[in-house]
Amino acid sequence: MTDPVTICECFARDGLQHEPAFVPTETKISLLEAFAAAGFRRIEATGYSHPRWVPAFADASEVLAGVTHRPGVAFKATCPNPRAVERALADLERGAGAEELSLLVSASESHTERNLRTTRAGQWQRVEEMARLARGRFRLVGVVSVAFGCPFEGAVDPGRVAEDVARFVGLGADAVTLGDTTGVATPATVTALFRRLARAHPGLPVVAHFHNTRGSAVANAVAALEAGCRHFDSALGGVGGHPSKIGYGAGLTGNVCTEDLVSLLDAMGVDTGLDLDALAAASRACEQALGRPLHSMVARAGFRRSAAA
């Protein structure tokens, strides 16, 4: 429990994909700089989805060109298909590419069809091609969406998720993310799956990506922590969910709030490597960027700091 954790700040990608109004490129770049200043060493910066489907990231190349790339900070871009990886490679050749790429699969057929417009078999063919194109040029993060349950099919077999993780490992992924895409996980299911994967893949960074649709995201994060997880995704203000033009999942589908997760971890004595004052400033900047109060409880009440602080 005393081992440091790494939190990837996802506001700029998983968060903004849900927003109906385009956030200016300059604002995105300013926010990414604020996240790096707060101490995040992994930051989800943008996505290479087709602008027709996810218009929020029509400026992906401009964002990556405008942000300061610095030692020890990895900016990540999400890639749904080989064309996206080709775009990432082109940006890298121009000297303004991402350090990490996320490669996406869904654990259910229905979510694959809705979110990626193909079948699971078809998406895995794409992922194999993406891994071939990107290998050696980026740090690769495999992502398994709806890993704890699907909004269309219900329960998802943990064995299928374990097989997906093994396939990513076989393709050379440096880490694998488990997405609780619509917030159906429980501490018990989280504990069981993270322990299973730790036994199967010792040393593999398995990233916990929880959504707070049903108010259980922080509880699930603590369960993952207790099961040995040391890598988490979160978004300032608890924003995000699904792309604004592709609806699935009812209610507030946003990510676990970074402020709330970090405050609890800090109070538990877990080192996040983050500056709480700079994080609070970044939280305010995110609310200003979207023009409304967001969903963090800590943004209203303030950080509960550890005794050491």
Q: What is the mean pLDDT of each run of 10 residues along the chain (309 residues)?
A: 90 92 97 98 96 93 97 97 97 96 97 92 98 97 97 95 98 98 96 98 98 95 98 96 62 88 95 97 97 94 67
Rounded CA-CA distance 84/64 in Å is 14
Count Cα atoms within 13 angstroms, Cβ side, for 72: 6
DSSP 30-41: HHHHHHHHHT-S
- pLDDT value, residue 18: 81
- pLDDT value, residue 253: 78
Integer angstrom CA distances of residue 88 from 13, 44, 61? 15, 14, 8
- pLDDT value, residue 254: 87
What are the extents of the domains in the chain?
A: 6-301
- pLDDT value, residue 244: 56
Fold classification of 6-301 is TIM Barrel (3.20.20)
Contact 43, 36 (CB under 8 A): yes
Rounded CA-CA distance 50/1 in Å is 41
